[in-house]
Structures are given as structure tokens and as C-alpha cells.
Amino acid sequence: MDVLTFGETMGLVVAEPGPLEFAGSAQLRIGGAESNVAIVASRLGRSTHWVSRIGDDAFGRLVERTLRAEEVGVTVIRDPQRPTGLMVKERRSRTLQRVRYYRSTSAATKLAHDDIDDDLLSRASILHVTGITPALSPEARDAVDTLIDRARALGVTVSLDINYRSALWTRSEAAAFLSSAIPRCDIVFGGLDEFALVDPGIVTADAAIEDALARGAAEVIVKLGDRGAVGERDGHRAAVEATPVDVVDTVGAGDAFVGGYLVARLDGLTLDECLALGGLVGAAACTVAGDWEGAPRREELSQLFDGHSVSR
């Protein structure tokens, strides 16, 4: 198995454009940072697996069915007492979207590190986690914390995307977790403002990289949105500009970047090439509405971005 992910995936209600209270129709989808990465990597030809807890309900079945259809391996614990988390996306205009979460008592708030057994964990090349899961509850925080240590003990590469959500926990709570987690992770992704959680003095990508490396991370990638990304690995620092596209929906673009980057890394590509593929996949995700629906398959990259694809 190439990429193992651990975290909450929710049912997603996408209302038609306009005020939510007047919406006459809506679409049912799914979304979750960790499963988004798993789907992206799967579409690019890598074997992936997602582990979580869901409710014994329609949204939980939708989540499981959708991920299996995307050829993502699934391990779930169904909770008969707690529901699958839900998010509702309101599209007020092309550039203004609001997302409401209904997850405070979801099944995933009871995630535990032993939801992943050693056999499954040891078969992964990369364990990918985010800062969203530890923000769900003290139990989920302990689960991620312990899982990182277990993966390291088994020689599994640990990837962390900071993914700070202010609605789930405070900056100080996030900073405390990150200060402990970053030194124990091999690859750390984040936006500039997210790296600043551990040091408010961080105002540049270079400073973010240097701080995370000094804390013990081996590989650091700063996502800069429409300004591209900067990263460092093995003493080599590189940057990539954002690929210009007609943007439809930016939600999920960061997850798509991470998925593309991890696949390129598994392919043995250089840092520059990893950043390039991550950027292309992230850009492709922006051209379609949805958290992951725009993620391309490997053979589509050259069609979408003629002359810019990275493949071997």
C-alpha cells in the first residue's frame, strides 16, 4: 500500500447558487481532507487506504460507497449512536462560499489510534494525517499523536498537512499539538499562516521552512495558493509558480496538491518535479466544483496542461 490516511470524511450538501434558505435543490457528495488525498493518489495510479469512523446512517454509506468507487481501500468502524459528520456548502456567488459543519458529536470524534492495526500500518509506505483530526476531540488528538509514534517505530514515512481549522480549536491548542507533532513527522505541508501558529514571527516561506526544519522535520512544503509553493528536501530548496486556470472552486485544491506531491515522491521524482506535479494536480482540482471531483488521472495531465505534465 502506498498511502494510508486517517481522518473524518463527511457527507456534503452542495446547495444551488444563492442564499441557502431559498435553495430549491442541492447535490449530495462527500468531503474530507484525508480522503481527498487518498482519492487524488488513487486516480494517479497509487494504492491508497482510508481509515475512520462513520455513523450507521445514509451519509456513512454514501461515504463508504463513494470511496470504494474511487478504488480507495476502506476500513471503517460504524457507530450506532453517533452520526456521520455533515457539511453544507452555500454558494452565494462565484467567489463567495460559506461552509457550515455539523460534526461536534460525529462518530469520528471517537477515533482511536488502534482503529489502525499494526498489520495495516506496517504495509503503508506513507501515513498521511492532518491537523483537522486532532482538532475534533481530545480522543482524536490522542489517536493522531500515538499513531505518529507507532508509524515511526514501524519505519513508515509520516506526512502531516497542518490544515488549521479555527472553528474546531484555538490557535494556542493547535500550536501546542504542532510543536509536538512537527519534529516527529517526515514531511510537513502548510500555508504560511499555518506555520505561523508555532511562531507568530514567521512571515515568509523561507522562515517557515527554516523553522520547521530546525524543529526536526525532514521535508517542508509551504503552500502559497495562487503564488505557487516552496519546499526543501535534503538541503535543496525549490519553488514552483501556480498554474493559471479558470477557477471554479478552490476547496480541496490544497489536498489535491498534497496528493500529487506524495505520488511524485513515491515515483522517485526530484523536489522540483514533486512541486510541479502537486501544482498541476491542485490547479486541475480548481477547475471543477467539489472537494475532489476535479482531481485528474495521470493520463489526463498532458491533455489538461499541454507541455506542463510531469511523468516518467
Annotated catalytic sites, by residue?
255
Q: 166: number of CA atoms within 13 Å, CB side?
A: 4
- Using CB atoms within 10 Å of the CB of residue 50, give its burial: 0 to 12 exposed, 13 to 18 middle, 19+ buried: buried
Strand order in the sheet with 97-102: 26-31, 10-15, 86-91, 97-102
End-to-end CA distance of the chain: 20
Strand order in the sheet with 236-240: 73-79, 48-55, 3-6, 126-130, 157-161, 187-191, 219-223, 229-233, 236-240
Q: How many CB atoms lie within 10 A of CB 299?
A: 11
**What is the pairing mode between strands 3-6 and 48-55?**
parallel
Q: What is the grid cell recorded at 62? A: 454514501
Phi, psi of 274 (to 5 degrees): -65, -45
Q: What is the grid cell recorded at 164? A: 488549521
Would you call 163 helix, strand, or coil by DSSP? coil
Q: How far is Cα 266 from Cα 54, in angstroms, rounded to an integer? A: 30
Q: How far from the centroid of its chain's Cα atoms is residue 64's Cα?
A: 18
Q: How far from the centroid of its chain's Cα atoms is residue 156's Cα?
A: 18
What does the DSSP assignment read for 41-77? HHHTT--EEEEEEEESSHHHHHHHHHHHHTT-EEEEE
